[in-house]
Every structure is written in C-alpha cells, then in structure tokens.
Amino acid sequence: MDLGLSGKRAIVTGGSRGIGRAVARGLALEGVDVVLAARSADTLAATAKELSQETGRRVIGVPTDTGDEESVRALVQTVVDELGGVDILVNSAATPWSSGKPRDFASTTDDLVREEVEIKVLGYLRTAREVAPHFIEQGWGRIINISGLGARQSNSIAQTVRNVSVAALTKNLADELGPHGINVTVVHPGLTRTERLTDRLAAQSETEGISVAELEERLVTNSIGRIVDASEVADVVTFLASPRGVAITGDAVAAGGGVPGFVYY
C-alpha cells in the first residue's frame, strides 16, 4: 500500500531516541523529510546522521526544549525555513514514567504533577499551536500525540493525569481543526522495546544471571504474549500520519499488544 507520504515534511519531538526515533525512521523510509527535536544536541546530531544515511531523506536535528515557548517557536520556524513548510507533527517528547518517580497518593506532590503536565501536555500544546497555522493555510496536516496506556489504569495519579490530559487535548484539537483538513490522534503505547528498556534488561541480566529473553517474558502481560517493538508502534503512527489515515481522528489508538480481559468501546 502506498501511504502517499513521499515529499511530506515532519517534526518529531523526542526524536533522538526511543519511540520518537523509531517514528522518525518510519516516516523517512516512506519518503518524508524529518526534523528531529530534543534537548541533547549531540544525540540529535548522531541520530539525524544515521537516519539520513539509512533512508536517503533529509533528517535534521534541532535542539529544542518543548517546555519553553520561544524554543518551540524557533523549532517550527527552522523547519519552515529548511524544508519550505511542515505537514506532520508527532509529539513524543516526554520523560519516561518509570524513571523512579513516586506513585502513591501521599508522595504525589503538586510539583510532581505540574512537571508532568508541563512537558507532556503543555509541551504538546505548544508545538501544536505553532504548526496549526501552517496546516490551516495549506488545508492539510496531521498531529499524532504519543501518550501511553497509563491513561487507562490507576497506577499513579501523575501518570494517569498526564496521559488522560493528552487524550483530552487530542480530541479538542481534532474537533476544531478537522474542518481544515487536519487530523489529530493519540497513540497509547504499552511496554515497548526501546534502547532504554534494552539497556535496563541487559544490566539486570548481567546482575541476576538471567537471560534477557526470560526477563522479557516476566514483563509481558499483553494479548500477543511478547513485548511490542518501537518500530511496530512507529508503523501505527506512520499510517495515522498519512493521507490513508483520514478516517481516524480524535480517537485514541492503543498500540500495546492488547490488554487481556477488558472491553474498550
């Protein structure tokens, strides 16, 4: 199936590692020129070079802090200057929840929730706000917000709030921007094989003397019985970013391999 993406121009925030990197690669393999945005200049440059060499597309790294409005504004202007415009925004810039943050009610401070909302919710809003006028002017655009299945469980107040908030942001934008030819969707990954997970399991394997394959088996709780790879989440996002995905907007698409026992409708 030709996704009709060749020649499109995309911004992928959080694009230097993990799901963001996999999405950038997936888009570039479909003929999209991509600007990667993240805070680490060195990692960005290395990733941009690798993806450009692999895919043959223009892949540019632009150091960006999505927590800062001026930084986001400069990012979008750079994309317009370098690529002549922008067609796709994939928001994936967020700190991973598993980085030792407290989960219980008593430890959930205002600052903890505020930090999560600032980066993952307001950061997504800032980038969407900057690209929207360009999408409206050309009558076409795609915004895909990467959230997480933490939106569907009471694992942590801060985690649930940030992910549900991304879904709420998505629906509001979809309804307002839809008449202008702009689709907005949210993708909820579950446990995903990224560089971070691979490194963690490799270290744990060495410490405990247990194979990585066995450690992965212990983590699996989904319907397909294995961990979903970042490239497989990227396949979903790439479709949603394409003209072929026009029928899907405002909705949440789960990409975690299925949650056994629950019916979502």
Q: How far is the CA of 80 from the CAs of 28, 244, 259, in angstroms?
A: 17, 24, 40
Mean local confidence (pLDDT), 232-261:
96
* pLDDT for the residue numbered 28: 98
Place of tokens 């969407």: 128
Q: Average pLDDT over the chain, rounded to whole?
A: 93
Residue 147: give its domain's CATH number.
3.40.50.720
262 in a structural domain: no
Reply yes or no on whether the pLDDT at 96 is more than 90: no
Instruction: Dump pLDDT digits (tens) for 11-63.
Output: 999 999 999 999 999 999 999 999 999 998 999 999 999 999 999 999 999 99
Residues of the domain holding 174: 9-191+229-255
User: b vs e for 98-135, b when ≥16 Cβ sit within 10 Å of the residue's Cβ?
Assistant: eeebeeeeeebeeebbebbbebbbbbbbbbbebbbebb
115 vs 173, more confident: 173
Percentage of residues in the chain having pLDDT higher than 90: 75
Mean local confidence (pLDDT), 200-227:
91
219 in a structural domain: no
Alpha-carbon Rg for the chain in angstroms = 18
Distance CA 245, CA 27 (A): 14
When pLDDT is cut at 50, 70 and 90, the band that residue 101 belongs to is confident
When pLDDT is cut at 50, 70 and 90, the band that residue 97 belongs to is low
Mean local confidence (pLDDT), 171-197:
96
199 in a structural domain: no
Reply yes or no on whether the pLDDT at 170 is more than 60: yes
Query: With helix as H, strand as E and coil as C, how does 166-195 read?
Result: HHHHHHHHHHHHHHHCEEEEEEEECCEECH
Q: How far is the CA of 63 from the CAs of 40, 41, 75, 93, in angstroms?
A: 6, 5, 8, 12
237 in a structural domain: yes
First to last CA, the chain: 28
Judge whether 106 and 159 are in contact, CB under 8 Å: no
Reply yes or no on whether the pLDDT at 138 is more than 60: yes
Mean local confidence (pLDDT), 200-219:
90
Mean local confidence (pLDDT), 138-160:
90
Q: Which amino acid is at 98?
A: S
> Which has the closest alpha carbon to 168: 141, 197, 147?
147
222 in a structural domain: no
212 in a structural domain: no
Q: How many domains does the chain have?
A: 1
Reply yes or no on whether the pLDDT at 167 is more than 70: yes
112 vs 177, more confident: 177
250 in a structural domain: yes
49 in a structural domain: yes
* pLDDT for the residue numbered 23: 98
Q: How far is the CA of 245 from the CAs of 54, 86, 167, 194, 253, in angstroms?
A: 26, 18, 18, 25, 12
